[in-house]
Chain A
Amino acid sequence: MAAADSLPSAGLPFDGLKVVDFSWVVVGPSIAKHFADHGATAVRVETPAPMDTLRVAMPFKDGAPGPNRSHFFGEFNTSKYGVTLDLKTQAGVDVAHRLLAWADVFIEAFTPGTVDRLGIGYEKARSLNPSIIMVSTCLMGQTGPLAGLGGFGYHAASMAGFYEVTGWRDLPPDGPWLAYTDTIAPHFLSAAVMAALDHRRRTGQGQRIDASQLEIALHFLSPQTLDSRVNGRTVTRDGNRSPTAAPQGAYPCLGDDRWCCIAVENDDQWQGLRQAMDDPAWARNERFLTTEGRLSHHDEIDRNLSLWTSDKDERQVMELLQAKRVPAGVVQRSSDLLRDPQLAHRGFFRNLEHTEIGSVPYSGPQYRIQGYDSGPRFAAPAMGQHNEYVLKELLGMSDDEIADAVVGGALG
């Protein structure tokens, strides 16, 4: 089959690599997607109940919910084949074992201990496939008194310190958008799996990777953690301000909820901002000539600067400031990103054909490698879309074996 391929795997760096993704939500699926988009044959294993949370999360095509209509699921499961397995049946576990014997990389994100109870733990996987690389990702790691704490990325973001530092001092924390730590862990874990694969290529040795999303995410607040330990300072949320540069913020522009961000990081940029505004009287204040002065009069500067921006289009503000080499950027929403000329130049969004929601845009790679076009190669699977393909073509099961598996309830 593989008829859905819009970009063949041949020539991509992970062509021939086999990944089985028993995980869900964002972190595990992101790692599998990384390899799949770059050529690996990846099988996403799902259970119909409980369904992957992303399948019931917005955005849905045309606003109509449905397990195969969520683009949240779609974005994080491109280039994968989808199979449903009921791991509460022996027949389902038997198919899982075939997948473990088949795979080079095995990804799971269950609560610690669950894979052993299901009969697909590391010891079992290694007995079936001695050089397998297994990644276990969860909030707190496989060990420790709180290993059993389940939850999503917003829980980890809350515990890792990111809620405390996102929002306004006089309001409860707003927190970053959704499951923020889920956007951090995949960088580190995709790198770790590639390093483990390179080690295996040279030595034949596989291994298990125990990853705590909390422990990974703390690196993104590392200077602040060190500051707390060394200087006793505890960072908190402060809108868009910086402790070391001013003015800095999102300033209101013409239209409904339109904003341009401005970040003056040194005295030269302050002079640039003054020139861009035609040096109004308020800006000639000598107290504003130094960073210290601007930091201590930030409110006053913001009031005046907001008046200057508020009767201008946000693109006009950005262009006026950029002409003077002042960092400025408009706050873009999805509708802006979809027509952003820089993203278009990089071919970032690309349409893929999905069995149920048709041709819609998908986000592209975070980096480009010169001379080759990575994925996403084809749209995410509908629930159980590749059951037959996976069992027959990838696992090489005979028609009789497949019939027995189905009768045994393997596919749920």
Chain B
Amino acid sequence: MLSPYTVLDLTDDRGELAAMILGDLGADVIKVEPPQGSTSRRMAPFLPHGPELERSLHYFAFNRNKRGITLDLSGDAGRRALLRLTERSDFVIESARPREMSGLGLGFEGLRRANSRIVYVAITPFGQDGPYADLASSDLTVAAMAGPMSVQGDPGRAPVRVSAPQVWLHAGAEAAVGALTAHARMLCTGEAQFVDVSAQTVMVWTTLNAAAAYAIQGHDFNRSGPFSQTRGVTLQIVYDCADGYVTFMPDAKTLETVVRWCVEDGLAPESWLEDEDWMSYTLNHLHGKPVTHPLEEVMVPINRYVLTRTKNQLLEMAISEGISIAPVYTVEELTRFRQLEERGYWLTAPLPGERQVQAPGLFARMSETPMQVRCWPPRLGEHNADVLGGMLGYSPAEIEAACGRAGEASNGRGG
């Protein structure tokens, strides 16, 4: 779909998903790394063996459908090569600190002189300018500043983030949206575009209904652990089952069905079937209408019932009843989940060192222009000759001058 377009991906671990999404959608992506490699090459988890900069599974996860080159942007030759590549590209995506690229002459103003129709996307923690633009940050601190932590976790303990880092993935994925939106605008105006992605504002949207809640209802939402408080009544979401946990909302048809199961197993009296209109039981709480059995009483047999069944038993029962009960799966259990297998989701990917792994697959099925993985993540500088020789006609000496020596040089991300 995006096959006419070329993307220069200058991001490090704080944005690599952006260009991968565009690559999955068909764009020709050239990943540009400093000679010492992207920061993501040094991020856990790692393969047990292999060359130091080719072992990161974090890097492997977010760099497919990209060719890879190194450019030493601290030198004139590297900077010139980037400008030459910009002339032949449609998108540039970077995740440097504010003003860092313009300090090299490679910011938006510099690149638009090379290409008057370029779409330039910059991913930063808080945006290009403003009082927080230069704050030191991490996944945890951006999640804190954006709001989701205030509503996550047990009320008796500290707020929590999702334990696996999420911030740069949200920011990267939304940067792909910003890139294509700006591209649509470029098609209208004919002018180069600058997209300023703030990870903080991206993460504010992960709070769903909580962001402006104070101005609407006069109070903030609070952490409620494994309970939901959006229906005006506190509803249990997470349940202990025989082999772990499941989630469901005790509401409408799901509640009606689970109460029936309790009666069938003798955990609740037969009269319960007639005592309540279970379909509207939780809504009655919202509207302040009376109920026969208080919620706490109802939850006792339900929790006892769920303890007697496994997560997959409950899932199968839910499907046959047309209700919603979901297992709390671990990543390991997901590798065996038959829905994903039967949809052919996992893709066999070659890891460095002749190994293979089943990797997460394509993110959607397109009927006329199927996405595909055309290449797996590049080794450091793998396509230096291919890109600089092939696209720009560079000689081997010019390539070496522009690319630097892989594994060397020093300009990592400071502060």
Contacts and interface: CB of A to CB of B under 8 A. Distances in A.
Bound pair: A and B?
yes
Nearest to B338: A145
A370 B193 contact: yes
Interface string A177-209: 111101110011111101111110010011111
A285 B47 CA distance: 33
Interface in B183-201: 183-185, 187-188, 193-198, 200-201
Contact of B162 (A26, A176, A226, A330): A176
6 shortest interchain CB distances as A-B pairs: A329-B141, A151-B324, A187-B173, A345-B130, A222-B61, A227-B45
Contacts of B154: 167-168, 171, 174
Interface stretch (B74-82, B329-337, B379-387): B329-337
Contacts of A189: 364
Contact of A338 (B187, B212, B322): B212
B351 interface: yes
A15 B185 CA distance: 10
A397 interface: no
B367 A208 contact: yes
Contacts of A142: 365
Interface string B307-331: 0000000010011001111111111
A72 B230 contact: yes
Interface stretch (A85-93, A97-105, A239-247, A292-300): A239-247
Given A221-B331, A338-B215, A342-B130, A166 B163 contact: yes
A188 B221 contact: no
B243 to A, nearest CB: 13
A13 B184 CA distance: 6
Given A71-B212, A210-B365, A368-B196, A345 B131 contact: yes
Interface in A148-175: 148-152, 154-156, 158-168, 171-175
Given A226-B359, A364-B201, A342 B131 contact: yes
Contacts of A348: 201, 204
A223 B215 contact: no
Contacts of A192: 25, 363-364, 366
B286 interface: yes
Contacts of A237: 160, 163
Interface string A349-371: 10000000100111111111111
B44 interface: yes
A124 B194 CA distance: 40
Interface string B229-255: 111100001101000011111000000
Contacts of B366: 192, 196, 207-209
Given A159-B334, A211-B364, 8 more contacts: A65-B287, A191-B177, A216-B364, A219-B17, A228-B335, A248-B138, A259-B149, A371-B194
Contacts of B153: 166-168, 174
Contact of A195 (B25, B44, B138, B208): B25
B246 A58 contact: no
Contacts of A241: 163
A42 to B, nearest CB: 15
Interface string A109-124: 0000000000000100
Contacts of B58: 223
A343 B204 contact: yes
Given A218-B360, A228-B332, A234-B331, A367 B196 contact: yes
A72 B213 CA distance: 9
16 contacts: A141-B365, A144-B343, A184-B170, A230-B357, A234-B332, A327-B141, A330-B145, A333-B147, A337-B146, A342-B131, A342-B133, A342-B198, A342-B200, A367-B175, A369-B181, A369-B195
A220 B217 contact: no
Most buried by B among A207, A210, A330, A334: A334
B24 to A, nearest CB: 9
Nearest to B60: A226
B145 A332 contact: yes
A327 B176 contact: no
